Amino acid sequence: MIRIVFYCPEIPPNTGNAIRLAAVTGCELHLVEPLGFDLSDAKLRRAGLDYHDLANVTVHSNLAAAWHALAPDRIFAFSSKGTTTFTDVAYRNDDILLFGPESVGLPDEVLYSPRVTAALRIPMLPSRRSLNLANSASIAVYETWRQQGFAGS
């Protein structure tokens, strides 16, 4: 299944919701430090409900460590600066869906890194800043899973 990477997430309930997403879809969730919270945070636990034991979650000390562990062929960075709509990609099972911190998104050095295959955007109305991180990850994961015929469901 697809692998989600949250680069320096800041808000515990977003990561809790992503843990729940990973549990119900079978995708992997990878968190890149520094995290803006402790993984035992009550808000994170509450948002993830009782799905923590059902989700595949890995924490990496930095982005280089994540790339070393994941050995990705393709990395799709999600950003309002993206030039390709996320539905225009034919996803593969081992792709990485990369999302940045809630307050600022992915820094340019990550978004425009040579490791990134493409910067993708989720369409929204003009003059809107961004979608919620967990909602964005859900939209992207379900599109990739839809393209794979909802395998395993």
pTM of the model: 0.94
Mean of pLDDT over the chain = 92
Phi, psi dihedrals of residue 57, rounded to the nearest 5°: -120, 130
Q: 12-25 vs 133-147: helix axis angle to the nearest 10?
A: 20
Residue 11 annotated as lining a ligand binding site = no
**pLDDT number for residue 38:** 83
Statement: 3-148 belongs to CATH 3.40.1280.10: yes
Residue type, 112: Y
Integer angstrom CA distances of residue 140 from 4, 76, 124, 152: 9, 10, 14, 18
Alpha carbon distance 98, 76 (integer Å): 6
Residue 40 has a pLDDT of 77
Q: Are 141 and 97 in contact (CB under 8 A)?
A: yes
What is the mean pLDDT of the segment spanning 130-134?
Answer: 92
pLDDT digits (tens, 9 = 90+) for 107-117: 999 999 999 99
CA pair distance 48, 85, nearest whole angstrom: 29
pLDDT band at 47 (very low <50, low <70, confident <90, very high): low
Over the stretch 52-90, which tens digit does the pLDDT of each residue have?
A: 778 999 999 999 999 999 999 999 999 999 999 999 999
Residue range 40-62: mean pLDDT, rounded: 77
Contact 134, 27 (CB under 8 A): no
36 marked as part of a ligand binding site: no
pLDDT of residue 4: 98
- The answer on whether 4 is annotated among ligand-binding residues is no
